């Protein structure tokens, strides 16, 4: 299964770029990418609008930018860009057990769990998505989607409605209760998220980003590789 890591937000409430926060000696985005790669996932990073995505150039994973028509449309635009970058769609229908699945993980979930994502994939059946419930609300950004949901995603974006919850209403979704998913994962993996400045202290993450400007010294941020930022035009 491939995983799209969403890192395109400008983190206005937090006041600093979430993706480049320092944690355990590395940028947070690099921590998450490596965690999922080490678990055997193929990772794609959705970096947001093209110019903003340049700050992630050099990550050890492909970085894709929003389509121009949907730049700045938030997580849905990132999921769309990630899905469209995957060119291995089977030419014939597959059995349900072999339907291509895509994991989606937001970079503001510092304890995102590859094992939980794998387990969620096993719950999807013939649905379009499997989404865990956290504190009574869906968490669609640590979830699994069938690639067949792409037309519904495009239709949602074309409607100019950027709401992920509205998108889910178009899909057949398996909702996973907290009681169920907490049998296989530590609650912290979905309950710890970075939205407000106080969250940084709570989870012991430095507010110092990896560079003074998101576009400065971009090659030195992620020296282990040199994947360019991919931009699809449509």
Task: Establish if 234 belongs to a structural domain.
Answer: no
User: What pLDDT is attached to residue 28?
Assistant: 87
- Identify the three-state secondary structure at position 210: coil
Distances (CA, A) of 209 to 5, 27, 224: 19, 7, 18
Task: Establish if 84 belongs to a structural domain.
Answer: yes
* Residue 169: partners with Cβ closer than 8 Å, 6 or more residues away: none
pLDDT, tens digit, 9 for 90 and up, residues 1-57: 999 999 977 655 656 778 888 877 788 899 999 999 999 999 999 999 999 899 998
Q: Is the pTM of this model over 0.75?
A: yes
Task: Establish if 232 belongs to a structural domain.
Answer: no
Is residue 228 predicted with pLDDT exceeding 80?
Answer: no
Q: What is the CATH number of the domain that holds 23?
A: 3.90.550.10
**Number of domains into which the chain is organized:** 1
List residues bridging with 132 in a β-sheet.
Answer: 176
Is residue 114 predicted with pLDDT exceeding 80?
Answer: yes
The domain containing residue 137 runs over which residues? 2-227
Task: Establish if 191 belongs to a structural domain.
Answer: yes
Alpha carbon distance 42, 36 (integer Å): 8
Q: What is the dihedral of CA 141, 145, 151, 153, to 10 degrees?
A: -10
Task: Establish if 74 belongs to a structural domain.
Answer: yes
DSSP 53-99: HGGGTT-SS-EEE--GGGTT-THHHHHHHHHHT-----SS---GGG-
- Torsion over CA: 14, 20, 22, 24 (sign): positive
Whose tokens are 């050890």? That residue is 60
Mean pLDDT, the chain, whole residue set? 82
Query: Taking a C-beta distance cutoff of 8 angstroms, is the pair 50, 216 a contact?
Result: no
Task: Establish if 97 belongs to a structural domain.
Answer: yes
Radius of gyration of the chain (CA): 17
Task: Establish if 233 belongs to a structural domain.
Answer: no
Task: Establish if 51 belongs to a structural domain.
Answer: yes
């Amino acid at each position: 299964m491939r995983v799209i890591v969403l890192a395109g937000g400008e983190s206005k409430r937090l006041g600093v770029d979430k993706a480049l926060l320092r944690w355990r000696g590395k940028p947070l985005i690099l921590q998450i990418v490596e965690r999922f790669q080490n678990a055997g996932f193929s990772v794609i990073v959705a970096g947001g609008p093209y110019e903003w995505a340049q700050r992630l150039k050099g990550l050890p994973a492909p970085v894709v930018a929003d389509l121009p028509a949907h730049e700045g449309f938030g997580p849905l635009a990132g999921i769309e860009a990630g899905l469209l970058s995957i060119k291995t769609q089977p030419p014939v229908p597959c059995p349900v057990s072999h339907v291509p699945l895509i994991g989606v993980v937001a970079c503001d979930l510092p304890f995102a769990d590859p094992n939980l994502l794998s387990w969620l994939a096993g719950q999807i059946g013939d649905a379009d998505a499997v989404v865990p419930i956290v504190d009574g609300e869906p968490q669609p950004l640590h979830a699994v989607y069938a690639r067949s949901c792409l037309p519904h995603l495009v239709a949602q974006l074309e409607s100019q409605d950027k709401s992920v919850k509205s998108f889910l209403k178009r899909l057949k979704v398996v909702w996973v209760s907290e009681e169920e998913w907490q049998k296989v994962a530590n609650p912290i993996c979905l309950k710890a998220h970075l939205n407000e400045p106080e969250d940084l202290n709570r989870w012991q993450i430095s507010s110092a980003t990896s560079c003074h400007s998101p576009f400065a010294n971009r090659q030195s941020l992620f020296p282990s590789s040199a994947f360019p930022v991919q931009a699809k035009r449509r």
